[in-house]
Amino acid sequence: MARKAKRNFLISTCILLTLTMFASACGNKEADAPAQSTGTDKKEVTIKYYNWDNEAQEAATDGMLREFEAANPGIKVEHVVLVPGNSTEMLKKLDFLISSGDEVDVVQMPSTGAVIERATRGAFMPLNDLYDKEGLKAEDEYSVNPAVDGKYYGMQYTSGYTYVLLNKNALDEAGLPVPKFGWTWDDYREYAKKLTKGEGVDKRYGTYFHTWELYMNGPAQTVMKDPYRYQDGSTILSDPTYPYFFQLRKDMENVDKSAKPYADVLASKLNYRSEFFGGDAAMIMTGSFTIPDAGNLEQYPHDFVTAFAPVPLPPKNALPKEYEDGKYFVGGGHLTMGSTTKHKDEAFKLMRFMTTTDSKNRQEFSGWKKADQTALLDRMIGQNKDKYDVESLKYTLFGDDIKYLDASKVLTVSGSDLTKVIDDGFSKFMLSNEPIDKVQAWMVDEATKIINEKEKK
């Protein structure tokens, strides 16, 4: 009725005007347009996308964000790299932003645990209503769906596989074959001995272990469903893999001299990619996010071929308490929506685009169930295919021998606190003469206190 009255008013006005005015005002259809606005003049929205990209990853992410903007006029995305190349420090900075009350739109998170831990603090927005609005079921879309009390908080962005990178030229020189599924950490130690070469500043270590907990207990991090707790909820720090792997690390440094000392790694703040591609280490356990690096000669110049191998399995004398015949843990990063966002619909659109697009800029395996991972692998390898042992790469990721664990039934919300216990325990053992049994007892005690205090029963 309001629109009809408005039109009658305009007609009456036109009758009273001169013919010239009538022709210029009433005869111009465009002049009536504002009275029938369809909302196409909606104000442009800008949202922020937070992550920890390194230089190479940042360019790829920017490419995907520009593709999103082209497909969604009216939405602009600001890419905010909180801490380049360091997810641990990025989370600390993110926590500071959240505690300061900053508006947070979309955040890339490195793990399920990191999502759950912050979701329980109210940092993220539940996605259930937005899924329902689009007629989507999370379980049909993504392999892993972080949830608390039936509410979904993470949209799986990547699938992360752990493997070992090996300098194929160094293997050939030492007469060693590319390892297959079934090799053990004892075998890894022998490989590292044989791949070590030279002395002083020119020394090439057989392997490099970085500062993360992944390198403090390889088995717990790769062949168990949860790196912190058994499926009954108790601490995993009592596992027999801890004394085994702690001692393995120390012996490789002090006895074999095949791994750079932990103290030097801490003091020098080394980059694990540079250690391998710079030729300072012949092997390194890492994740599938490094696949493009082997062909990225501009950022990591090197002249050797990179081979790939499955993560070693624990030997029979150090099998984990919960062990499923060599099946591997598959991790992954997630996109989350900040609870303080003022643009829920736009943020959800961005999250769906980033997780489902078949963009040529994507550098990591997708967490979306309908993605074509093989095609993505070919793109990740890129033009410098001669720098890859492609056969070993495909076998390591998708070979018939390679099986993956189901998701853990345990959702640990105190991952940061438990990680600190692991870090402190490892440092106690590696940097002092404190015996392993005493260190492990301390770790178990500390972890049990945290679990009893912070984990839901």
Instruction: Say which residues have a Cβ less than 8 Å from residue 135's Cβ, sequence separation at least 6.
Output: none
Q: Is 79 within the bounds of a domain? A: yes
Residues 268, 367 share a domain: no
Q: Which H, E and C letters describe the chain, residue by residue? A: CHHHHHHHHHHHHHHHCCHHHHHHHCCCHHHHHHHHCCCCCCCCEEEEEEECCCHHHHHHHHHHHHHHHHHCCCEEEEEEECCCCCHHHHHHHHHHHHHCCCCCCEEEECCHHHHHHHHCCCCECCCHHHHHHCCCCHHHHECCCCEECCEECCEECECECEEEEEEHHHHHHHCCCCCCCCCEHHHHHHHHHHHCECCHHHCEECECCCCCHHHCCHHHHHCCCCCCECCCCCEHHHCCHHHHHHHHHHHHHHCCCCECCHHHHHHHCCCHHHHHHCCCECEEEEEHHHHHHHHCCCCCCCCCCEEEEECCECCHHHCCCCCCCCCECCECCEEEEECCCCCHHHHHHHHHHHHHCCCCCCCCCECECCCCHHHHHHHHHCCCHHHECHHHHHHHHHCCCCCECCCCCCCCCCHHHHHHHHHHHHHHHHCCCCCHHHHHHHHHHHHHHHHHHHCCC
Among residues 382, 400, 422, the one where a domain terminates is 382
Residues 370, 325 share a domain: no
Among residues 341, 358, 382, the one where a domain terminates is 382
Q: Is 34 within the bounds of a domain? A: no
In this structure, what CATH number is given to the domain that contains residue 77?
Answer: 3.40.190.10
Among residues 340, 356, 382, the one where a domain terminates is 382
Q: Tell me the C-alpha distance between 373 and 385, whole Å.
A: 17
Cβ atoms of 118 and 124 closer than 8 Å: yes
pLDDT at 71: 97
Residues 252, 140 share a domain: no
Q: Which domain holds residue 350?
A: 45-159+330-382
Residues 225, 89 share a domain: no
Look up the pTM and report it. Answer: 0.75
Residues 253, 153 share a domain: no
Q: Is 4 within the bounds of a domain? A: no
Exposed / middle / buried, residue 30 (Cβ in 10 Å: 0-12, 13-18, 19+): exposed
Residues 146, 188 share a domain: no
Structure tokens of 451? 């679990």
Q: Is 7 within the bounds of a domain? A: no
Residues 260, 153 share a domain: no
From residue 258, give the alpha-carbon distance in Å to each of 247, 248, 453: 14, 11, 41
CA gyration radius for the chain?
A: 27
Q: What residue type is assigned to position 303 of the chain?
A: D
Q: Is 37 within the bounds of a domain? A: no
Number of other residues whose CB lies within 10 A of the CB of residue 268: 10
Q: 203: left (phi > 0), else alpha (psi -120 to 50), else beta?
A: beta
pLDDT along the chain (457 residues), means of 10: 39 37 38 39 88 92 98 97 93 95 96 90 97 96 89 94 97 98 98 96 96 95 94 96 98 98 93 96 96 94 98 96 94 95 98 95 90 89 95 95 86 88 97 94 98 80
Residues 214, 246 share a domain: yes
- Using alpha carbons only, give the angle 129, 134, 137 rounded to the nearest 5 degrees: 75
Number of domains into which the chain is organized: 2
Q: Is 6 within the bounds of a domain? A: no
pLDDT at 338: 98
Residues 279, 196 share a domain: yes
Q: Is 38 within the bounds of a domain? A: no
Q: Is 271 within the bounds of a domain? A: yes
Cβ atoms of 355 and 366 closer than 8 Å: yes
Residues 256, 116 share a domain: no
pLDDT at 41: 54
Residues 277, 214 share a domain: yes
Residues 284, 188 share a domain: yes
